[in-house]
Structure 1
Amino acid sequence: MDSLALHSLSALLLLLITSASAAASDPTNQFCDARIGYGDSGCGVSAAASSSKILIKGGTVVNAHHQEIADVFVEHGIIVDVKPNIK
């Protein structure tokens, strides 16, 4: 697998992890009635969840040049910091 494909795959994986973490952080949005569409009647990720702060501890961070074990801090859906032992 070439480095561009690997980078794209790792970025997609990080996006999926952060999306799942944001949805799971609010227990009122944890489950949706099958008859209600996603985003309707408070089902799914709320506006408050999109402005949350997420800290992923001990993740494997992969970019085009190398991979490392590090913490990832995400704020408002943007990766703010990637380094070991973020407090």
Structure 2
Amino acid sequence: MLEIVPIRSDSRARARVKVRPPAFLGEPEPDTSVGQEISKAGVGIILCAGALIGLGGFLFFIGGLLTSGGITGFVKGWLTAFTGI
């Protein structure tokens, strides 16, 4: 049998909300997608490769300066190599 129960006007709904602690360093946020994390890793790899290439270029420049006997010999050798004269 169906029983009719009157609804009280002062009743309130209660809900518990679980609060997550803030993410630690390096830990992705809960709403972070896998694609976003892969992009961050890709950018990091590209930046490291660029830094290594730049460091190599700088070291070759210093080596050329030392081998040619100073900045004037370096510039003269570079102009000779560039123009062929």
User: Higher helix share goes to which structure?
Assistant: 2
**Larger Rg, first or second structure (1 or 2):** 2
- State the TM-score, normalized to the length of structure 2: 0.35
User: Higher strand share goes to which structure?
Assistant: 1
- State the TM-score, normalized to the length of structure 1: 0.34
Q: Which of the pair has the greater relative contact order for Cα pairs under 8 Å at 6+ separation? A: 1
